Structure 1
Amino acid sequence: MARQGLLLILLLLVVTIPRGQKKPKQADYKSIYHYAEELYRSGSATSTSDSLAIVAYHRVVQILSALPENDTILFDSYVKAAILEMTYRRDTAALLHFAASINVVKQKSHLPDSLLFQPYLYAGSIHYSLFNFDSSLYYYRQAENIVNKYPSIAESERLYNKLGVLFFETGDYRKSIVYFEKALSIVEAQSPADISFIVNYKNNIASALRKLRRYPEALNIYKSLITFGYNVEELHHNIGVCYLDAGDAKQAIKFLGRVEYSNEVKYNDLASAYIQLNKLDSATYFLQKAFDVYQKTSSNQKTKDYGITLKYEGDLLMAKHLPKQALQKYHSSIIQLDPDFNDPVAEHNPASFYGLHNSFLLFNTIKAKADAFAQLFAQTKDKQQLSSALDTYSSALALANHVEKMYRSDESKLFLEQNVSVAYKEAVKTAIQLFELTKDRLYLKKAFNIAENSKASVLQTDLHDLELNNIIGLPPKLIRDQNQLKANISKLNFQISQTTDTIAIEKLQNDLRDLEIQFSRLQDKLDNEPAYYQLKFTNKEVNIDTLQQKVLAKDEALISYYYYGNQLLCFYITREDFGYAGSNTTKNLFDNIVSLRRQLNGLETTDKKLVLNVSTDLYNNILRPVLPHISGKKRLLVIPYNELSYIPFEALAPTDNERPLLYKFAVSYNYSANFLSTNDNEKSKYETLAIAPFTLDSRNESLPRLSHSLQEVAGLKGKILIDKEATKQQFLKFYDQFPVIHLATHARANDSVPLQSYIEFFATKPLNDTSHRLYEPEIYHLDMKKTQLVILSACETGSGQLINEEGIISLSRAFSYAGCKSVITSLWKADDAATAFIINRVHHYLQKGLPKNEALQKAKIDYLENNEIDARFKTPDYWAHLVLIGNDEPIARGYYTFYLVIAITIIIVSVMVVRKSRTK
């Protein structure tokens, strides 16, 4: 070592002592540069030789900085010195050198900008290792710009893999797969292909699938890669973690035992497995070993692995019922995992979030800390602990809300929502507990807000994004490109869902991957627009006072449902009051919902007595507790939750002999109170685009004639398209020109593959052609912000796949996504004649200027009270399928307002005349 130190000192003297020349000569730096290159490329490099190389490169930089030539060598010296600094984790020095190399290229116009790829790529990697994920993404995007300009540039696959790793780390697993697959496609196209790279990238894909809980797929990939003989221990490790995530701790330990290397990650995973098995001594042993590894390599920088160790120590203490000690561990873990949080006080939490984070890991740790506070309250009954629990849950949910806005795809947002639903429930439960203990109504408002934020949050985010496109000053081309990419991505997703040919699917998936990468780049450009970014990350949260003072009418009540554990909550809001009614959820409640749905959907032969009994049970369970608080109101806005979305509340009745709720309230529905706004819609001339493709016999037996559909649209003002005129092309031509759209046609809801749900139009091509169908993804990308009402009298347009927290993913929801203010939709396949009668009357009342919910209420009552309709056809399965979702305001100003004003004027004048005559 002494000899090596002496050599280093001598070299320093050689390269730094001036030789008495006024200007350095080319020979001064060329020999030094060649010497540095020999050391850099040596197959037997050591820390000493690397240090000598760094010094030599520094000397070259010093000389060339004063010369006007050989900029390529100057650039190369900066880059090589930076790479060597990276090797020894001297990150600050490396970043300075990379920045200098980038500056050289930007200042020297004769140097090709392709040189920038490597410093951008490596600078991004350094920032990633420092948890500076936003800076990392910036440099990776700069490198990606170079790749787009020079597609054949070397190491482009490394860039896409690193982007995949970045998105994996920040929790957007679906997007990470897109980038891993892009990297894999580049390597597989090379000849010969590098097998080690293929194994690495497929391993990354499997890990992302594992995080998405697609465990069988992940395991198949991991196990298939072992045969190649590369990274076998890492693959065994990942297989073990896959079993661990799937809840099979024994299998996890089996595969982790095959891993010979010893690092913090392995010990953390073993500790987690033993905690799952409740073998706490073994867990303690491995956590100590993880901590020992950390101490050997510890620095002042925050590290994810140590954060995980601390988190598992907290889990271990919770398993021992020691929440107070667990709190400290969780809090220390949060400090390690959040680059912006350093507060040592356990009662404090990250209050706001910016940019990219270790999303799920940080979220799970904050939630675990909240759970510890809740358990501590259960032990001590100290209300302050419960208050701290609510604050901590709120911090976790703020992170989830931030991350949801960072994600680009609905699939990623839905996956996130499923992972945070438990935290929403615990937060609502805690807020209700605090309200019961303190009677402080702020906690009740907090519970309501949290519950509403949890509902349809993906749709909330999507509609918020729709608003962002109207920001003044945004580059129009960015918005056009964004909309076009969204439409093309939806189109490819649909084509993949329709294709069975393996080769064709692979090509479509490759095209889809490239489009998603383009979309990701474009979205980053939009996020760089200050006004766009600020509004995007501004939370739109309902305010109780605003609802009471500006949104709800005097005759209107809002009820919103939520449940957790065995507790069913029904929040109620009127202009005068706000509160909640609670009851217990039982298996019988959900059995009744399923039973009613099956009966009304015609999935079984309708048992009318059973329908009445079930309706009465549901009425008593979910409506009776809240009715005393909303008495005297005429209109009812219902915000259901999960399975309750299947219930047509209008059909529920207190007893067999009493009238259903329809007679008491004009009912409308919404996805969340956060969708409500002040009712300031301008009244318009009542004109309708009405489409009825099947008024005559159809050539297709699976699409029978809707003989009464002509009755639905007859006499309407606007544009009426019947039979051959009722094509998809005509709809797309005129849909944005009318305030009301009425589709009297067939539709199909596909619960298992929502992308294949569609609305039928007249088919001008052979029967096996599907171009006449309007599929759900196409609806999502229509611009319907000016549309006030869509009437979907087609069958089961309100039916679809139920996703926890998000609600029913249906055709009607697609119109809401497109910006339509309200939809009248059908929950199940219903009688054509009954539907035609009700919808015809709906138009009648809407034209008079009635609110939409009242128009639908009166239309249904007209049906039930019409003496010409047989009593057999007046059961709920005939009339209750049509529901209104969204804004309930009138569309037309209507004549009734005019006559009402005249009547009031006449009354006032008459009273004045009478009083005057009496006075005389």
Structure 2
Amino acid sequence: MILSELHKLHMIVEKDTNAIKYIRKAISIIRGEMVFEDEPIYAEEFEQAIRLAMPNIEELEPLFFNGPDSVIQPFYTDTLNLFILTEKNFRALGIPEDSLRLYIRWWQKDRDSLNAFSNIAIAFERLGKIDSAKYFINLADSVYIIEKKYYERGLFYLALYKTIRNPETMIRAVSSFKNIQGDKEVDWCIKNFIADLPEHYTEIEDFSKAKQVFEFFGSFYKENPIELEYENLRRLIPMFNFTGLNALGMGDIELSIKAFELYRIFSRRLGADLDFTTACNNLGLACRVQGDFDRAITLLREGLKFTEEIAPNDFVGSGFLKGNIAWTYFNMQILDSAEVYFRRAKAPLESLWQNEQRIQLHGQEVLAFGYAGLGFVNMARKKWDKALNNFFECIKYADYAGNTFNRSAFGLVYELIGEVYLELNEYDSALIYLTQSMEYLGQKKEGLLSLEQVFFPSVTMWVMSTRGRIFELKGKNDEAIKYYDLSIEILEKFRSTVKGEEKRINFLMDKMKLYEKMITLLLKMGKYARAFHYVERAKARVLLELLETKMIELPAPEDKNILFERKKIEDRIKNLKEELQKSEGDNEEKNKDLIKNLRSALNSYDSLLSRVEREKPELASLINVNPVSLSGVQQELNKDLTVLEYYFTDTSLFCFVITKNALKTTETKIDMNTLSNLINYLRSAIMNVDEDIYAEPSMELYKILIAPVAKDLKTEDLIIIPHGLLHYVPFSALMDSNGSFMIDKYNIGYLPSASILRYCLEKKDKPKKSIVAFGNPEFEDPKLSLPSAEEEVKEIGKYYNNPLIFLKKEATEDKCHVFAPGYTIIHFACHGEFNRTDPLSSALLLSRGMDIVDDGRLEASEIYGIDLENTRLVVLSACESGLSRITKGDEITGLIRGFIYAGAPTIIASLWKVSDVSTGKLMSSFYNKLNNGLYPAKALGDAERELKKSGDFSHPFFWAPFGLYGYGQ
């Protein structure tokens, strides 16, 4: 009947220019056809949708007549006839474009236009006309939301999902149903979504889809732990495992851990014993790669115990677990235990082959695993021939790699063979295996890559670095620098996927060699300024990214917005790069669009960081690793100031001596264990107040750290930028061969890195106001009382007009948050607590307040949230307030960094537990001199020299612990 009416209409239209009324009549015949259950089609407005779709009408025809059967196929057939007919009629009627646009705007507001948009969108999606489909999807979506038709919106996206199987459409359907508390619909959607999952994932190309599904389900299940049936669970767990393995291989460690955690939970719930042991193994593996060794060992041993109980003859399952335990011990530098477990991992399978000439499924991978591990152990012991034999045994099984992570592991073994040949000075052989490493991983381009071409970062960064080393040994230093630089770029991108300060620090522990190679070569070439840049780059990692990876309170809402915006752009860049990798070579037009969008996102990112650098330099130093240049440092220095920046490798200690107009560098050959022992010796000697046994280690450290540059120290004021363990050195207590201490000649300040000097200097001219001081907080234990601290605060208050002083129970954390932002100087005379495992939990201990939130612990993480823009100086007259956790790659995190970020350019703090009596005298002298016009570094230096000359407190224990951090001039 419909086709008959349309045919009559077509005959009339050719003779009747007023035929639009007949078109309306014909459309009304279609009214009532069904697309969704209980959802009528209001097709009257299709005439304008047709007009919008005119350029694509001919493309729609094959879809309607030849597409797969569906419940809406009859409607599509009639709609196509209507499209074709009305296209001709609109052309015949010559409707003006202006009138048409006005009509479209009215039509978009019409409540009954949704079905038109929805069905056209679905039609274009089925045809594969993505741009046209997106246009109508967006139109429909905006109207659904405006009209709050969430149920209908859910049905629409459900139909889209059934058409294109895109997880994003199911996400929108679920979110729509959740808006109306449609629990049954949500449950149905999720279970059908799971039912559509493949039973097995075998192709690496499936990773993108698996990742989408996982992220959707993972985020949904976290909020809505619905009950799932056996069949649902059976389909989920392979997806979790597949996602985790491939994410790990591609360097997305955080995603892999999330996937393996769900794999472990659901396999246990399913009662899938084999999957549970695999989950323990893989989650332990991911934790090991992340640097969480304790958790890795716990998980792996749990899996091993379970495997040996339920399947004592499963040599593959137990082999993987033993192998990963071995790798964890290797990462912890416990080589003997690592070797034992590597041998245990492969021994049962070797015995099975020797005795029965058979091997269990995936046994080849376990054997490869064991041989690779033994190769690593022998490399660490510098037994090169044994390492080569182990690695060659390993790569016999390279064809058995079943997933992205295993491929990356075999790729790394090829790279390691190259490294061994490099150690044996066989450069050509080394290059052959480095090339094979890349070829095995599917990297077709030889030589230097662009960052966008890197697919396996965990392997490629080492390949590029080793290639650089070969060029360096051949005397081609310029080429070597290119490869070293790329290896560092890859490392920094790879590292950005690791979340959490502790995890990022551990991640870097075995990778600082990449920086060391570059720095050492640049110094050898005399490129001192560029070497200085990489020293700053190596030091600044976790320190400058602290905000992103911790729950830190920010002083201003706009700072939070900046971080959210940054994360959003970074995620977009990451997704676009992944899409580009997947589609490379498949669709030239699509690639052009992806590249265009990627450039746009990168430009947005650069614009954001530029804006932050201009408007919020402290935040910029934390979110954008943009190390200062040598010229940038020199520009900020005055002629009366010298900077000493240290950097050490396993065998050498470098010192950069920087003045306003000059740079000099020195290299001292030193074993790091010797240096560490000397530092510990000095600190323990200073702690022994009853004996003067500090002279020997003090003089030895002076010879190493100061003597090589002493002739270049021509200013009274020094800023020392330590590295690693040197942060624990009280430089003022170092003694030259004549028995003179450093404090006798110099006013010493410290900085965690040169990169923060600039914004410390920007605050140096803050107008002098007054002081707020907190002294002798009240505790339940009377033994914690500090009466001398109370006297110290009262004495200090005498030097200022209108000081604000809080003593005993009034010295609360809450008052610090309220009053500290308004004062130029903030003084704490209290106990301090340094947390070595979690430096951001280090705290100043104040009195408890009335509020339950005011627990009296002013932690480092909370200090980031105090606005100290008006503050010039913070004095922490507290035990160990200057201590920070130091690592090889990340320097200093603790109370000091918190105060610098909060806005204080100068902080005075202590390196060890101090005497409150001597501290009171030191502080009184310091404030007296400060009030008489001396700058902080000079005032502190004079106060320490004065205390040193007094009979009772001449020992370094009393005057050496306090250091000035930031800018003291």
Q: Residues 417-461 of structure 1, C-alpha deviation per residue, up to 9 Å, x if partnerless?
A: 21322222232222223x2xxxxx4x2222222222222421122
Q: Which residue of 1 aligns with 2:175?
A: none
Shift of 1:567: 1.4
DSSP 3-state at the match of 2:492: helix
Shift of 1:332: 5.4
2:584 is aligned with 1:542: no
Query: Residues 364-403 of structure 1 correspond to what in structure 2 (within 5 A)?
Result: 364-375=459-470, 377-378=472-473, 382-384=474-476, 386-403=477-494
C-alpha distance in structure 2 between counterparts of 1:279 and 1:408, whole Å:
34
Shift of 1:811: 3.1
C-alpha distance in structure 1 between counterparts of 2:73 and 2:371, whole Å:
52
2:727 is aligned with 1:635: no
Query: Residues 305-454 of structure 1 correspond to what in structure 2 (within 5 A)?
Result: 305-306=406-407, 308-320=409-421, 321=424, 322-331=426-435, 333-334=437-438, 344-346=445-447, 348-351=448-451, 362-375=457-470, 377-378=472-473, 382-384=474-476, 386-433=477-524, 435=525, 441=526, 443-454=527-538
Q: Residues 83-102 of structure 1, C-alpha deviation per residue, up to 9 Å, x if partnerless?
A: xxxxxxxxxx9999999999
Q: Which residue of 2 aligns with 1:514?
A: none
C-alpha distance in structure 2 between counterparts of 1:684 and 1:629, whole Å:
34
* 8 A Cα contact 2:301 2:321, kept in partner: no
Greater displacement, 569-578 / 231-240: 231-240
C-alpha distance in structure 2 between counterparts of 1:238 and 1:658, whole Å:
60
2:481 aligned partner, one-letter code:
L
DSSP 3-state at the match of 2:782: coil
C-alpha distance in structure 2 between counterparts of 1:101 and 1:264, whole Å:
53
Match of 2:375 among 249, 259, 275: 275
Q: Residues 269-298 of structure 1, C-alpha deviation per residue, up to 9 Å, x if partnerless?
A: 35524634526456435524424879xx9x
Change in 2 beyond 3 A, CA 1:735/1:792 = same
DSSP 3-state at the match of 2:939: helix
Change in 2 beyond 3 A, CA 1:131/1:671 = farther
Q: TM-score, normalised by structure 2?
A: 0.65
2:696 is aligned with 1:613: yes
1:733 aligned partner, one-letter code:
V
DSSP 3-state at the match of 1:636: strand
DSSP 3-state at the match of 2:648: strand
C-alpha distance in structure 2 between counterparts of 1:814 and 1:293, whole Å:
47
Shift of 1:626: 0.5
Shift of 1:193: 6.9
Change in 2 beyond 3 A, CA 1:636/1:876 = same
Q: Residues 137-183 of structure 1, C-alpha deviation per residue, up to 9 Å, x if partnerless?
A: 67765666766887649679768877766764454546644564466
Change in 2 beyond 3 A, CA 1:316/1:165 = closer
C-alpha distance in structure 1 between counterparts of 2:140 and 2:240, whole Å:
23
Q: Which residue of 1 aligns with 2:87?
A: none
Shift of 1:260: 1.9
1:326 aligned partner, one-letter code:
A
Q: Which residue of 1 aligns with 2:154?
A: 112
C-alpha distance in structure 1 between counterparts of 2:607 and 2:549, whole Å:
13
C-alpha distance in structure 2 between counterparts of 1:107 and 1:652, whole Å:
71
Match of 1:789 among 870, 873, 876: 873
Match of 2:733 among 651, 659, 676: 651
Q: Which residue of 2 aligns with 1:260?
A: 360
Change in 2 beyond 3 A, CA 1:335/1:292 = closer
Greater displacement, 443-452 / 307-316: 307-316
DSSP 3-state at the match of 2:488: helix
C-alpha distance in structure 2 between counterparts of 1:823 and 1:844, whole Å:
17
1:250 aligned partner, one-letter code:
R
Shift of 1:554: 0.6
C-alpha distance in structure 1 between counterparts of 2:285 and 2:879, whole Å:
42
DSSP 3-state at the match of 1:720: strand
Q: Which residue of 1 aligns with 2:937?
A: 853
2:853 is aligned with 1:757: no
Greater displacement, 256-265 / 751-760: 256-265
Q: Which residue of 1 aligns with 2:684?
A: 598
2:675 is aligned with 1:589: yes
C-alpha distance in structure 1 between counterparts of 2:516 and 2:205, whole Å:
31
Shift of 1:570: 0.9
> What is the RMSD computed on CA atoms of the aligned residues?
5.2
Shift of 1:585: 1.3
C-alpha distance in structure 2 between counterparts of 1:532 and 1:792, whole Å:
35
Shift of 1:794: 0.5
* 8 A Cα contact 1:264 1:305, kept in partner: no
Shift of 1:264: 8.3
DSSP 3-state at the match of 1:576: coil
Q: Which residue of 2 aligns with 1:887?
A: 967
2:321 aligned partner, one-letter code:
I
Change in 2 beyond 3 A, CA 1:464/1:411 = closer
* 8 A Cα contact 2:828 2:876, kept in partner: yes
1:315 aligned partner, one-letter code:
L
Task: Indicate the percent of aligned positions where both proteins have the same amino acid.
Answer: 19
* 8 A Cα contact 2:771 2:823, kept in partner: yes
Shift of 1:793: 0.7
C-alpha distance in structure 2 between counterparts of 1:164 and 1:255, whole Å:
28
Query: Residues 723-738 of structure 1 correspond to what in structure 2 (within 5 A)?
Result: 723-738=808-823
Q: Which residue of 1 aligns with 2:757?
A: 676
Match of 1:691 among 774, 779, 783: 774
C-alpha distance in structure 2 between counterparts of 1:377 and 1:480, whole Å:
40
C-alpha distance in structure 1 between counterparts of 2:873 and 2:495, whole Å:
29
Q: Which residue of 2 aligns with 1:566?
A: 651
Q: Residues 398-417 of structure 1, C-alpha deviation per residue, up to 9 Å, x if partnerless?
A: 22223444444212221222
Query: Residues 139-538 of structure 1 correspond to what in structure 2 (within 5 A)?
Result: 152=226, 168-171=248-251, 173=253, 176-178=256-258, 180-181=260-261, 201-211=279-289, 212=291, 213-214=293-294, 215-226=296-307, 227=309, 235-246=317-328, 247=330, 248=338, 249-254=342-347, 260-262=360-362, 268-269=368-369, 272-273=372-373, 275-276=375-376, 278=386, 280-281=388-389, 283-284=391-392, 286-291=394-399, 305-306=406-407, 308-320=409-421, 321=424, 322-331=426-435, 333-334=437-438, 344-346=445-447, 348-351=448-451, 362-375=457-470, 377-378=472-473, 382-384=474-476, 386-433=477-524, 435=525, 441=526, 443-462=527-546, 478=561, 531-532=607-608
Match of 2:796 among 713, 737, 744: 713
Change in 2 beyond 3 A, CA 1:98/1:454 = farther
Query: Residues 572-583 of structure 1 correspond to what in structure 2 (within 5 A)?
Result: 572-583=657-668
Q: Which residue of 2 aligns with 1:660?
A: 741
C-alpha distance in structure 2 between counterparts of 1:470 and 1:335, whole Å:
47
C-alpha distance in structure 1 between counterparts of 2:804 and 2:819, whole Å:
9
C-alpha distance in structure 1 between counterparts of 2:124 and 2:323, whole Å:
41
C-alpha distance in structure 2 between counterparts of 1:176 and 1:162, whole Å:
9
2:900 is aligned with 1:816: yes
Q: Which runs of 5+ in 2 are unaligned?
A: 1-9, 11-25, 35-65, 80-114, 145-151, 172-196, 331-337, 353-358, 379-385, 567-600, 613-619
Q: TM-score, normalised by structure 1?
A: 0.69
C-alpha distance in structure 2 between counterparts of 1:307 and 1:703, whole Å:
59
* 8 A Cα contact 1:352 1:398, kept in partner: no
Change in 2 beyond 3 A, CA 1:554/1:638 = same
C-alpha distance in structure 1 between counterparts of 2:772 and 2:565, whole Å:
28
Change in 2 beyond 3 A, CA 1:101/1:66 = farther
* 8 A Cα contact 1:363 1:396, kept in partner: no
DSSP 3-state at the match of 2:913: coil
Change in 2 beyond 3 A, CA 1:285/1:665 = closer
Q: Residues 671-697 of structure 1, C-alpha deviation per residue, up to 9 Å, x if partnerless?
A: 112222163324222322210025x99
Shift of 1:819: 4.7
